[in-house]
Amino acid sequence: MTDSGAKSFDVQSPGGLLEDIYYPYLLPDEDGESFEALREALFSDLDPVSPYEHLLTEQIVALEWDVLRHRRFRDSLLRAEFRDQAMGVFQKGEVGRVCENERQSHPEKLAHDLVSSDASARVAAMTALSEREVAPEEIVAKAYKALAKHLEVHERQIADIEARRRRLRDDFDRVKSVRVRQVEDAEVLEE
């Protein structure tokens, strides 16, 4: 006799079940393929076997993703402030911010080109910066100073996450070492 109201459960591997739990909510600038590449690399390196090892590996992946995320936040803040500070060089002749309503399009484009992924645009903007006798390091220093409190939050988060990751990795290594212990004078049976 069968019970038509009974639920059927899909038996998954420990990794499959945990993957659903630990898969992060991606932000607009994040890429699921990048997360999967990180996850696959760490799983390949750590080679978890038991359900608990899978759990620890998923937690390590999540912590690594969080570290990358906070580094990206910190770097994005600094890059945006760098652009804003560079605007002053191109518009007023000195490092500093320019009010929104005073911005001109050519200086704004040069400031954006300083951090562009287009190498030729970046070289042209760096040349324009050099012609004004301003080093990019000056702008970075002022940008960092302007954002120090905001950057500190991410720096602390990165340090905390890295400490947690090290502790978790130590736990993982201890769990894995128990599994791999060789028994001395053991007899190997062949099938």
The answer to whether residue 5 scores a pLDDT higher than 60 is no
The answer to whether residue 183 scores a pLDDT higher than 70 is no
pTM of the model: 0.74
| pLDDT band (50, 70, 90) for residue 102 | confident
What are phi and psi for residue 181, nearest 5 degrees?
Answer: -55, 130
Mean pLDDT over each residue of the chain, to the nearest integer: 86
Alpha helix locations (H) across the chain?
A: 14-22, 32-46, 51-92, 105-113, 119-131, 136-180
The pLDDT tens digits for 23-35 are 778 888 899 999 9
